[in-house]
Chains A and B, each alone.
Chain A
Amino acid sequence: MIIKTEPFVVNIGPVHPSTHGVFRMRATLDGEVIVDLEPVFGYLHRGVEKLAEERTYTGVIPLTDRLDYLASMSNNLAYCLAVEKLAGIPVPERAQYLRVIMAELQRIASHLIAVGAFLNDCGAFMTPILYMIREREKILDLFEMVSGQRLTYNYMRVGGVSHDIPDEFLPALKKFVDRMPAFIDEYDQLLRENEILLARAKGVGILPKELAINISAGGPVLRGSGVRWDIRQADPYSIYDRFKFDIPTGSVGDCYDRYRVRVEEMRQSVRILKQALEQLPSGEVRSEVPHLIHPPVGEAYGHIEAPKGELGFYLVSDNSISPYRFHIRAPSLINLTALKEMMVGWKVADAIIIFGSIDICMGEVDR
């Protein structure tokens, strides 16, 4: 007997437990196997780029907080770098170090969520992500000390940072830096050789090296495919050329490699934090910047290695108080563009973990 079968369309999202926000995948399934897939964007579009054109250069900073809300500090940093480049504003030494410290803490926090959410997508019933959130909580406490906020920090300013750190910050940070490697090791030990995790993630959702470069992917997604590319070393911004750290890369470009790269990157971030703590100078944290910045006519592109990839802000100035043109190069969106190539041929369960391993933030995808 031959059973007649036909593919059917399933909308995964926009409201779905594993789409990390309001993302929608229009998947055509043949049984459990995905034969076609179309990502649908735009459910969280807020018009940030247009809004920014109506605001002063300083007033845009809170908007950047709300892009990738799991890595607000990185967004602040990228935007401030772009404005500083545009207006030629210097940044004091101490502020540079504080920025690096915040950016690396933010990278750890974001990767914790990424790894935890990835394992949650694999079906590890909430346990990994709750342990990850417990550790992230300590980072949020640190951020609360410096900025008073726990999610949208609005901490960095054009020409420095908003405040100097309070007295209790450095001891707390030292404690965190001392404890974190042991935590990562313990966690890694529990999961690295887990048979089910290996079976689920190894060889699944391979993003070939060439394709990764062609779609201009960034961050752990690119490095997981075996490309040694990190803006922190390729085009050192701020003071990253003063620190020693390695760039972890994967070999195959599967979900497991991307997961491993994130875990290794957390270790490297702790290394950078240690060095930054040792070298942290005293002094001003903010250079003299007028309230209303009038950058000269021209354009500038400031980019950083955000936790999710290359985050860039492209600004065009017409010498007024607000940007004439404002564009965000959002790593989440660009990493998503190879979604179909990665998912076709895999099962629904794989699609979920492939999506999880890319680690997106809808605030950034839709802007």
Chain B
Amino acid sequence: MAMPTLSPDWPGGFWAHWGIFVVIILVFVMAMVMGFIWFERRAIAIMQARLGPNRVGPFGFLQPVADAIKVLLKEDIIPAAGDKWVHWLAPVVAFVPVLMVFAVVPFADGALLADLNIGILYVVAVSSISVVGIFMAGWASNNKYSLLGAMRQVASVVSYEIPVVLSIMGVVLLAGSLSMQQIVLAQDIPFILLQPLGFLLFFIGACAEINRAPFDLMEADSEIVAGFHTEYSGMKFALFYLVEYGEALAISAIVTTLFLGGWRGPVLPPWLWFLVKVGLVFFAIVWIRTTVPRVRIDQLMALAWKFLFPLALLNLLITAVEILVFPAVSLWVLVLINIAIMVVLVILWSKLFKLGWGRVEV
């Protein structure tokens, strides 16, 4: 078995690199998730005219730590009629893929666990595994609310995978590579400018896939109590909580890498640029969560298939034509053209498409 090649400026052999980055990813994910939980609670509190957590540590910064300790000490309850092993396995199956996604996310130039040449494909493939864990949770809980939540999750992930992947294809065409590292290096202009429509579709689709509001149907607290994790307590519940925020973190990191130029930026060190951009994307997600009501399951499906899917196809087509027919045109001209196309298409589709107006479509 041949040793994978490494970028030469990294000290140590393959295993040193491997070990260091596993630790970095674990620490990064855990720390960022805790930070995000605090950040989200404070940001939402400010938007909702209240204070948010402010007792534990300065500005309540240690609140997630306190919550983590509390949750560790809680009793672990398994429903009497539930499937014990699946119930136990579900949070693990849901959580591991979230960590695995970060293996290909570049934190700085060449600073990633594995520069896979199929990087973005790997992300798409691995992140879809989480839904299996969530469905296992819904099934094993032997609870009707859990099952409803899990069913909704499966339906939404299956539908939203398609527009998400199609909008990623636009980026891949521009970068000419599937490797995350190469995609970042190709972004002399952040792809959000060259692919505004692609960014929009990806962002909406990704929000739906990770079940952030307004697509948080699988745990819709006002409808199905807590969805798939109704019957979970203690550390297993905490793992699902980690999954939720880990996925949000992963989506923020992927949006940053694909559309916002990853770690690239002037003045500041690369890793800081990366963190700032991830934070900004996450803030947008939080902002949307506090602002809009939740859609219904059939409206969610309609949005995926009638709105995002055709637009994603068109976006792919337009990008391909642009690359094939006008390879010599200045990128800035393409930026203007693409933004114009996005505005026209989105307005046109919004006229054609309404969220169903309450029609029942079974």
Question: Which A positions have Cβ atoms within 8 angstroms of B?
Answer: 8, 10, 16-18, 31-33, 119-127, 130-131, 134, 194-204, 254, 345-350, 352
Judged by a CB distance under 8 angstroms, whether B306 is at the interface is: no
A32 CB contacts on chain B under 8 angstroms: 148, 297
User: B295 contacts which of A8, A125, A126, A196 (Cβ < 8 Å)?
Assistant: A196
User: A18 contacts which of B223, B357, B358, B360 (Cβ < 8 Å)?
Assistant: B223
Residues of B in contact with A, size category:
35 or more
25 cross-chain CB contacts under 8 A:
A10-B145, A31-B362, A122-B222, A123-B216, A125-B289, A125-B290, A127-B48, A130-B48, A131-B48, A194-B292, A196-B214, A198-B357, A199-B354, A199-B358, A200-B294, A200-B295, A200-B299, A203-B357, A203-B359, A204-B358, A347-B360, A348-B148, A349-B217, A349-B297, A350-B358
* B295 and A199 contact, CB distance less than 8 A: yes
User: B223 contacts which of A131, A198, A348 (Cβ < 8 Å)?
Assistant: A348
* B357 and A348 contact, CB distance less than 8 A: no
Looking across the interface, which residue of chain A has its beta carbon closest to that of B298? A347
User: In the complex, which of the residues A8, A10, A197 has the most CB atoms of chain B within 10 Å of its own CB atom?
Assistant: A10
B293 CB contacts on chain A under 8 angstroms: 119, 122-124, 194, 196-197, 200
Shortest beta-carbon distance, A12 to chain B, in Å? 9
B220 CB contacts on chain A under 8 angstroms: 123, 349
A122 CB contacts on chain B under 8 angstroms: 222, 293-294
* A17 and B297 contact, CB distance less than 8 A: no
* Cα of A31 to Cα of B297 in the assembled complex, Å: 11
Judged by a CB distance under 8 angstroms, whether B224 is at the interface is: yes
A16 CB contacts on chain B under 8 angstroms: 225
Looking across the interface, which residue of chain B has its beta carbon closest to that of A11? B144
* A202 and B222 contact, CB distance less than 8 A: no
A202 CB contacts on chain B under 8 angstroms: 357-358
* Cα of A350 to Cα of B48 in the assembled complex, Å: 25
A121 CB contacts on chain B under 8 angstroms: 222
B291 CB contacts on chain A under 8 angstroms: 124, 127
* B358 and A203 contact, CB distance less than 8 A: yes
Looking across the interface, which residue of chain A has its beta carbon closest to that of B289? A125
* B297 and A347 contact, CB distance less than 8 A: yes
Looking across the interface, which residue of chain A has its beta carbon closest to that of B214? A196
B354 CB contacts on chain A under 8 angstroms: 195, 199
B223 CB contacts on chain A under 8 angstroms: 18, 123, 348-349, 352
Shortest beta-carbon distance, B94 to chain A, in Å? 22
A123 CB contacts on chain B under 8 angstroms: 213-214, 216, 220, 222-223, 293-294
Judged by a CB distance under 8 angstroms, whether B50 is at the interface is: yes
B360 CB contacts on chain A under 8 angstroms: 33, 345-347
* Cα of A10 to Cα of B144 in the assembled complex, Å: 7
* B48 and A126 contact, CB distance less than 8 A: yes
* Cα of A144 to Cα of B303 in the assembled complex, Å: 48
* A120 and B48 contact, CB distance less than 8 A: no
User: In the complex, which of the residues A126, A203, A347, A349 has the most CB atoms of chain B within 10 Å of its own CB atom?
Assistant: A349
* A350 and B296 contact, CB distance less than 8 A: yes
Judged by a CB distance under 8 angstroms, whether B47 is at the interface is: yes
* A352 and B295 contact, CB distance less than 8 A: no
B144 CB contacts on chain A under 8 angstroms: 8, 10
Shortest beta-carbon distance, B316 to chain A, in Å? 26
Judged by a CB distance under 8 angstroms, whether B221 is at the interface is: yes
User: In the complex, which of the residues B47, B144, B223 has the most CB atoms of chain A within 10 Å of its own CB atom?
Assistant: B223
Judged by a CB distance under 8 angstroms, whether B193 is at the interface is: no
Q: Other CB < 8 Å A-B pairs besides A123-B223, A196-B293, A347-B296, 8 of them?
A: A10-B148, A17-B225, A33-B362, A194-B293, A199-B296, A199-B299, A348-B224, A349-B223
Shortest beta-carbon distance, A279 to chain B, in Å? 34
* B296 and A17 contact, CB distance less than 8 A: no
* Cα of A254 to Cα of B362 in the assembled complex, Å: 20
List B residues 246-300 near A (Cβ within 8 Å). 289-299
A194 CB contacts on chain B under 8 angstroms: 292-293
List B residues 157-193 near A (Cβ within 8 Å). none
A196 CB contacts on chain B under 8 angstroms: 214, 292-295, 355
List B residues 29-64 near A (Cβ within 8 Å). 44, 47-50
* B358 and A200 contact, CB distance less than 8 A: yes
B130-159 contact mask (Cβ, 8 Å, vs A): 1 or 0: 000000000000001100100000000000
Judged by a CB distance under 8 angstroms, whether B356 is at the interface is: yes
Looking across the interface, which residue of chain A has its beta carbon closest to that of B47? A127
Looking across the interface, which residue of chain B has its beta carbon closest to that of A130? B48
A204 CB contacts on chain B under 8 angstroms: 358
* B358 and A134 contact, CB distance less than 8 A: no
* Cα of A203 to Cα of B222 in the assembled complex, Å: 20
Shortest beta-carbon distance, A200 to chain B, in Å? 6
Shortest beta-carbon distance, B232 to chain A, in Å? 17
Q: A134-B49, A199-B299 are in contact. Are A125 and B225 (CB under 8 A)?
A: no
User: In the complex, which of the residues A17, A121, A125 has the most CB atoms of chain B within 10 Å of its own CB atom?
Assistant: A125
Shortest beta-carbon distance, A287 to chain B, in Å? 43
* Cα of A325 to Cα of B116 in the assembled complex, Å: 81
